[in-house]
Chain A
Amino acid sequence: MKVTGPIPGENFTSDTKNYPWHRPPQYTSLDDAIDGAAKQLLSEDASDGMVILLQAGMDIATLTDMYVTSGIMSGKWTPDFAILIAGPISHIIYLMAKAYDIECDLGIDLPKESRTKAYFDAVKMDKKKVDDIINVIDSMGEELPQVIEQKATGFMAGMPQAPQEQAAIATGIMGSLNQAGAMPNALPTTPEEGM
């Protein structure tokens, strides 16, 4: 039998200190890490690539994720530290996009701001205007349904038909059953029938 996989416990004997993420991180202070990241992001090579990706439409959250992950791989910071500096790194990338007049999307859904008192005071309707509108509607009287019918479009277009007319033009299952006499006409055609 040929054994091709690792032996259980082999990881404890293998030399893993050569991996950058297994060594102590380069940065442990937030300010030092942001300073180092800013210097690298604003260098000629890195900034060219970043701007090209922003111009291509990539959102800032994805770019931030790529950058902090590459920092973990190169041993600059630990994964939890990378999550902490994600915000400031995204702000640096946002400012780079602003500097080049590139329209960018943060890639995160910011919460909607709640309405303030100033907003509600501004939309508070003047009582006099409301009374004027009501008076106009009352003065139209019988003309109002005709005006609505003339102006109504789409789903609301057309006044509702009388029950007799609806039964006469019934289609589908109800129409065929009604014609065959299988179902009594549920809609009374005269007031006496309805009583």
Chain B
Amino acid sequence: MAVTFEDAVRKSMRAYWINTRDYDAMTSNKGKNRKYTKQYFDDIENEMVGKKPKDKKELEKEYK
């Protein structure tokens, strides 16, 4: 099945937004810490609009 450039862009976006380890492995900067990670943009969003609701992992920790 042929994959267009647009499909590849959407696939990369999907990997970024669901926080996959594949995306982190693809974008690792030879061991150096990257500045603009998803956490960086999430922190900006929290400052703008307030804290986001807790995700599944945080809720699981509290449930235990």
Contact residues of A with B, CB < 8 Å?
29-31, 34-35, 61, 64-65, 68-69, 79, 82-84, 86-88, 90-92, 95, 98-99, 106-111, 113, 116-118
Contact = CB atoms under 8 A, between A and B. Distances in A.
Q: Is the interface of B mostly helix, strand, loop or mixed?
A: helix
Interface in B36-64: 36, 38, 41, 44-45, 48-49, 56, 59-60, 63
30 contacts: A30-B27, A30-B29, A31-B34, A31-B35, A61-B9, A61-B10, A64-B9, A64-B13, A65-B5, A65-B9, A65-B10, A68-B9, A69-B5, A83-B9, A86-B9, A87-B15, A87-B23, A88-B16, A88-B36, A90-B13, A91-B16, A91-B41, A95-B48, A107-B13, A108-B10, A108-B13, A110-B14, A116-B59, A116-B63, A117-B60
B2 interface: no
